[in-house]
Structure 1
Amino acid sequence: MGYTKTYKDGTTPTVAIIGAGFSGLCAAIRLQTQLNLYTYTVFEMETDIGGTWLANTYPGCACDVKSHNYAYSFEPNYDWSTSYAPQPEIWAYLRRTARKYNLYEKIQFRTEITQVIWDEGRQKWQLSFVNLNTGEKGRMEADVVFSALGPLRIPQIPKEFENFEGPKWHTARWNHNYDLTNKRVAVVGSGASGIQVVPSIVKKVKTLEYYQRTASYIVPRRNARYNAIWRWMFRNVPFFHFIYYKMLYWSSEYTVAAFSSKLQDRIPRMVMVLMAWFFRFVQIRNKELRKKLTPDYEMGCRRIVVSSNYYPALSRKNVNVHTEAITSVKGNTLTLRDGSTQEVDVLIMATGFHVQQMFPKGFMYGKDGTDVAEFLGASPTTYYGMTTTVTPNLFFLLGPNTGLGHNSILFMVETQVEYGIKAIAYMMAHNLSSIQVNHQAAQDFIDEVDHKMKGMVWSSACKSWYQNSEGRVTALWWSNCSHYWWRLRKFHPKRFIATQKI
């Protein structure tokens, strides 16, 4: 059954898409291909598309999800070179896709959305923006907004590092003009970025001081290469790519059991824990170093990282691993809690991102003048699908309750976009100016999330970026989660409050 593609008067809604990464591009493509809707504008702060994959260009940057699962289902890439695609290939794929669908002409680059306000009287969103090149300000009125503000875009930089007097940068703002050869380098942070950076620079630096706050669980990265024969089969053998894609997807989906303490999941969980332990034991021969790199929390609480060269890199003679907290930074010297000091030439911050802070207070005001940032902070899981009860016609493409660490986030993105497409089609079919989730639907969703989270590792005492500052879990992590999100593609009008167009 096809979607309704216009209002009764033949018009289509005006749509604003904030962000031109994977999520924003997906929304734009599906508006075109499923609704034949071209009355949309994409706003992007940077000079090109790509989002996370434009910003993060540090050495060793690559995806930790299998390549063939890290592409749009409707736009497969048959030419990945390896099992885990490097950043340049992912960015090239996005640009190639954007050109195929003529998206560049719909994007306003170097344009920052500064405020988004719902106008109840006009039943529209009022967006304020500024051109970052000229400083010129403008406004746009939109019927529908897709928020595609990715979580890995705002670097988290501790204030104490501002005192460092030498060259310094965050991994998401890599300085490619500075040569690290024979330099004394400090890398702060042991998340995915730090784990990828260290092996990529360790052979060229004189010394590497590595500051680890919390050890990560590491599993092997079997990064096989796809030769010309593989690529030919993906492109020419019927259903070969589709079957391969599904096999990769479900093999990754099965690992969600590693995050559960439920009886039926204990065996696969034990297998994952033993794999990580054995991998660490084999690759690290120094007992003292192995102790530093052994996590002291339940597996899965924090993101599990895939890497086969991280432990060997930290075992090199020119690397010193520090687990004490940095207490002060003066000049080029870092002082630790135990009183030890290290003088370095360069400071590299792999200190992560403001994942929970999708946008600041005062940025978005929904119905009844509600500050959406404050609303989400007070009730972080008040979502049903993509929309909160206070934001009519707004679809969050990567908000709370969409975090993944065992499979491709693109499945979540496509699911949410399709839900938005169905909502817009419903609005046009019934001549509606707005729809918003009713309170009961939102509460039912919260209750289901809380119920499903019982017995999962994030409901224990552990702390990670999958929780907000109040300890509430903001990720959907349970068995058969893809089945659950597939259900969200079904649009149920009874769960919404609708306003008829005048």
Structure 2
Amino acid sequence: LYSYSFAPNPDWSATYASQPEILSYIQQVVRSSDCSDYIHLKQECVAAEWLDNELHWRVKLIDLESGQSYLRYTKVLVTAVGFCDVPKGADKIDGIKNFTGKVFHSARWDHSFDFSDKNVGVVGNGCSANQFISSLLDQTAIQSLVQFMRSPHWIAPKDNSQAKRLMAMVLRRVPFTNRLWRYWLAAKFDLAFPAFKSNRLGKLLRQRIQTSLANYIRRSTPQKYHHMLIPTFDFGAKRPVLDHGYLQSLHDPRVKLISTPSLSVVAPRELQSNNGDIFPADVLILANGFETQQLLTPMKITGLRGAELPALWQQSEKYASAYMGVCVSGFPNLFLLTGPNTLPSGHSTLVGIECSVEYITRLMSRFLDNHSSKVKFEVKAEAQDSFNTLLQSKLQRLIYTSDVSSWYMDKRTGKNTLIWPGSQVEFWYSRCVKSVNWTDFVIETRG
């Protein structure tokens, strides 16, 4: 499910492939699809403006290698920037400007840095920290590692078994088995969806899951950390984390886990927790997440009557929302991938992205067939509002709107702006099978 449906790969080495293997797979798909000529890397889109007289978009980009800016014009603009594309900074660490050691975000890893004999500070304990801490301990000769956490996560065991040779041979040689295996995995993930509901069955399922995971955390970690690591909130209220060897790494004598709501720099190479304890640090790795509630940032997209995204979503009583997660009223011929409320519940994001691509393709086929005409395609404001009112009401029946600090939630409005409030089968059906409601759109054609 973390590969493309149109490019199945029977040769994965393990249940969860490594970054080099995934990169190699993507490069192979690019080569086999002959699409490399259409991909331009290290180009940043900084702004786009809808020109209503010409009925097209003017897009400003910057070549990140040369620093030169340039313009492109297009009938249709599709954003595909993802949720986790803008890492959070260190601005919430008091006195961070006085820190003279190395600072970088885990998503912007500095591979040139030598960790030998270094005191390492890690901020955060979500998925990113879980993924790199054990590898850092195994692959480098660090002096010490202090991890500063603010709140716990439900951590589940990760079954990363090696692929069986017989299984790979069957997937490669027997027709349709790769696709059938994919369907089985998709169904398996969707069967977990009832656990995210707020009803009696959902509560019962979560209690069983929480008991199992709490026992796993206790078995895997030193007793002194149990009270820090076992959450008191419901499973699913925050994104669950798969254990990449992190829990066992807490037994390493070089490691300290500190629970603190705040952190400050008190000397060029020293960090202080809120209770006054001081820790040496030569390098600070930020694993504090991403600006998930600032979709499309730092781009500025200007639509009709000077309306701007993402600024429009940040106005009073507004929040990130779109029709079917892909169209925004006032922004003609603009389509979003990984738009608001398209993140699946415990499922592969790639599956959701492919469904959105199919839906966008269905919409575009309505007006791109006539190449000689200029077309303005826009969702009606009332259709967008109605869609999101229903969507938010469905979210109220799920665990995702719990009063827990989560990157799913817009703290300003209390709205969940990321999660799709249904199963992935429902998402697929609504985008790929169900008839498009063309009355929700306004289509203007000029010769």
Same fold (TM over 0.5): yes
Instruction: State how far apart, in whole Å, the 2-side matches of 1:308 and 1:150 are.
Output: 24
Q: How does 1:40-51 map to 2 (within 5 A)?
A: none
User: CA-to-partner distance for each residue in 1:137-156, whole Å, 9 max, x for gaps?
Assistant: 22111100110112222111
Instruction: State how far apart, in whole Å, the 2-side matches of 1:362 and 1:174 are.
Output: 23
Match in the other structure for 1:13 = none
Q: Which residue type is aligned with residue 125 of structure 2? A: S
Instruction: State how far apart, in whole Å, the 2-side matches of 1:433 and 1:254 are.
Output: 42
Match in the other structure for 1:425 = 365
**Match 2:18 to one of 54, 61, 86:** 86
Match in the other structure for 2:419 = 476
**Match 2:59 to one of 127, 143, 150:** 127
Q: Please report how far the alpha carbon of residue 436 of structure 1 lies from its aligned counterpart in structure 2 after TM superposition.
A: 0.8
Q: Please report how far the alpha carbon of residue 428 of structure 1 lies from its aligned counterpart in structure 2 after TM superposition.
A: 3.0
**Match 1:384 to one of 302, 305, 323:** 323
User: CA-to-partner distance for each residue in 1:45-68, whole Å, 9 max, x for gaps?
Assistant: xxxxxxxxxxxxxxxxxxxxxxxx
Q: Secondary structure at the match of 2:84?
A: coil
Q: Please report how far the alpha carbon of residue 72 of structure 1 lies from its aligned counterpart in structure 2 after TM superposition.
A: 1.0
Instruction: State how far apart, in whole Å, the 2-side matches of 1:422 and 1:376 are.
Output: 26
Match in the other structure for 2:174 = 237
Q: Which moved more, 1:395-404 or 1:174-183?
A: 174-183
In 1, are the aligned partners of 2:81 and 2:338 still within 8 Å (CA)?
Answer: yes
In 2, are the aligned partners of 1:83 and 1:225 still within 8 Å (CA)?
Answer: yes
Match in the other structure for 1:280 = 217
Match in the other structure for 1:400 = 340
Match in the other structure for 2:121 = 186
Q: Secondary structure at the match of 1:176?
A: coil
User: CA-to-partner distance for each residue in 1:214-248, whole Å, 9 max, x for gaps?
Assistant: 11110110111113322111111122222221121
**Match 1:99 to one of 20, 31, 55:** 31
Match in the other structure for 2:402 = 460
Q: Please report how far the alpha carbon of residue 475 of structure 1 lies from its aligned counterpart in structure 2 after TM superposition.
A: 2.7
Q: Please report how far the alpha carbon of residue 82 of structure 1 lies from its aligned counterpart in structure 2 after TM superposition.
A: 0.6
**Match 1:262 to one of 199, 220, 233:** 199
Match in the other structure for 1:441 = 383
Instruction: State how far apart, in whole Å, the 2-side matches of 1:357 and 1:77 are.
Output: 34
Instruction: State how far apart, in whole Å, the 2-side matches of 1:295 and 1:250 are.
Output: 28
Q: Please report how far the alpha carbon of residue 362 of structure 1 lies from its aligned counterpart in structure 2 after TM superposition.
A: 6.9
Q: Please report how far the alpha carbon of residue 477 of structure 1 lies from its aligned counterpart in structure 2 after TM superposition.
A: 4.1
1:368 is the counterpart of 2:305: yes
Instruction: State how far apart, in whole Å, the 1-side matches of 2:146 and 2:263 are.
Output: 15
Q: Please report how far the alpha carbon of residue 459 of structure 1 lies from its aligned counterpart in structure 2 after TM superposition.
A: 2.2
Instruction: State how far apart, in whole Å, the 2-side matches of 1:493 and 1:128 are.
Output: 31
User: CA-to-partner distance for each residue in 1:73-122, whole Å, 9 max, x for gaps?
Assistant: 11111111110111111111111111112222112333222210011111
In 2, are the aligned partners of 1:255 and 1:268 still within 8 Å (CA)?
Answer: no
The alignment's C-alpha RMSD in Å is 1.9
Q: Please report how far the alpha carbon of residue 134 of structure 1 lies from its aligned counterpart in structure 2 after TM superposition.
A: 2.4
Q: Secondary structure at the match of 2:416?
A: coil
Q: Please report how far the alpha carbon of residue 178 of structure 1 lies from its aligned counterpart in structure 2 after TM superposition.
A: 2.1
- The verdict on how the C-alpha distance between 1:234 and 1:272 changes in structure 2, with shifts beyond 3 A counting, is same
Instruction: State how far apart, in whole Å, the 2-side matches of 1:137 and 1:320 are.
Output: 46
Q: Secondary structure at the match of 1:403?
A: coil
In 1, are the aligned partners of 2:237 and 2:401 still within 8 Å (CA)?
Answer: no
**Match 1:169 to one of 104, 107, 127:** 104
Q: Please report how far the alpha carbon of residue 295 of structure 1 lies from its aligned counterpart in structure 2 after TM superposition.
A: 1.4
In 1, are the aligned partners of 2:154 and 2:213 still within 8 Å (CA)?
Answer: yes
Q: Please report how far the alpha carbon of residue 345 of structure 1 lies from its aligned counterpart in structure 2 after TM superposition.
A: 2.0
Q: Secondary structure at the match of 1:202?
A: helix
Q: Which residue type is aligned with residue 132 of structure 1? A: L
In 2, are the aligned partners of 1:325 and 1:337 still within 8 Å (CA)?
Answer: yes
1:493 is the counterpart of 2:435: no
Q: Please report how far the alpha carbon of residue 194 of structure 1 lies from its aligned counterpart in structure 2 after TM superposition.
A: 0.4
Instruction: State how far apart, in whole Å, the 1-side matches of 2:323 and 2:445 are.
Output: 22
Q: Please report how far the alpha carbon of residue 389 of structure 1 lies from its aligned counterpart in structure 2 after TM superposition.
A: 0.8
Q: Please report how far the alpha carbon of residue 432 of structure 1 lies from its aligned counterpart in structure 2 after TM superposition.
A: 6.0
Q: Secondary structure at the match of 1:117?
A: strand
Q: Which residue type is aligned with residue 491 of structure 1? A: V
Instruction: State how far apart, in whole Å, the 2-side matches of 1:305 and 1:460 are.
Output: 18
Aligned residues: 433
Q: How does 1:38-77 map to 2 (within 5 A)?
A: 69-77=1-9
Q: Secondary structure at the match of 1:108?
A: coil
Q: Which residue type is aligned with residue 480 of structure 1? A: S
Match in the other structure for 1:324 = 260
In 2, are the aligned partners of 1:361 and 1:371 still within 8 Å (CA)?
Answer: no
1:145 is the counterpart of 2:85: no
1:248 is the counterpart of 2:248: no
Q: Please report how far the alpha carbon of residue 285 of structure 1 lies from its aligned counterpart in structure 2 after TM superposition.
A: 4.4
Instruction: State how far apart, in whole Å, the 2-side matches of 1:309 and 1:79 are.
Output: 24
Instruction: State how far apart, in whole Å, the 2-side matches of 1:202 and 1:269 are.
Output: 33
Instruction: State how far apart, in whole Å, the 2-side matches of 1:133 and 1:222 are.
Output: 41
Instruction: State how far apart, in whole Å, the 2-side matches of 1:173 and 1:285 are.
Output: 31
Q: Which residue type is aligned with residue 487 of structure 1? A: S
Match in the other structure for 2:238 = 302
Q: Please report how far the alpha carbon of residue 257 of structure 1 lies from its aligned counterpart in structure 2 after TM superposition.
A: 2.5
Instruction: State how far apart, in whole Å, the 2-side matches of 1:477 and 1:263 are.
Output: 21
1:200 is the counterpart of 2:145: no
Instruction: State how far apart, in whole Å, the 2-side matches of 1:362 and 1:153 are.
Output: 12
1:414 is the counterpart of 2:354: yes
Instruction: State how far apart, in whole Å, the 1-side matches of 2:222 and 2:287 are.
Output: 26
Q: Which residue type is aligned with residue 277 of structure 1? A: A
Q: Secondary structure at the match of 1:138?
A: strand
In 1, are the aligned partners of 2:130 and 2:244 still within 8 Å (CA)?
Answer: no
In 1, are the aligned partners of 2:123 and 2:286 still within 8 Å (CA)?
Answer: yes
User: CA-to-partner distance for each residue in 1:145-184, whole Å, 9 max, x for gaps?
Assistant: 1101122221111223343211222111112222323322
Q: Secondary structure at the match of 2:198?
A: coil
Q: Which residue type is aligned with residue 275 of structure 2? A: D
In 2, are the aligned partners of 1:259 and 1:300 still within 8 Å (CA)?
Answer: yes
Instruction: State how far apart, in whole Å, the 2-side matches of 1:303 and 1:192 are.
Output: 9
In 1, are the aligned partners of 2:44 and 2:64 still within 8 Å (CA)?
Answer: yes
Q: Which moved more, 1:354-363 or 1:396-405?
A: 354-363
Instruction: State how far apart, in whole Å, the 2-side matches of 1:377 and 1:276 are.
Output: 37
In 2, are the aligned partners of 1:127 and 1:141 still within 8 Å (CA)?
Answer: yes
User: CA-to-partner distance for each residue in 1:449-477, whole Å, 9 max, x for gaps?
Assistant: 12211221222212211112322111334
In 2, are the aligned partners of 1:219 and 1:308 still within 8 Å (CA)?
Answer: no
Q: Scaled by the length of structure 2, what TM-score is found?
A: 0.92
Percent identity for Structure 1 against Structure 2? 26
In 1, are the aligned partners of 2:206 and 2:234 still within 8 Å (CA)?
Answer: no
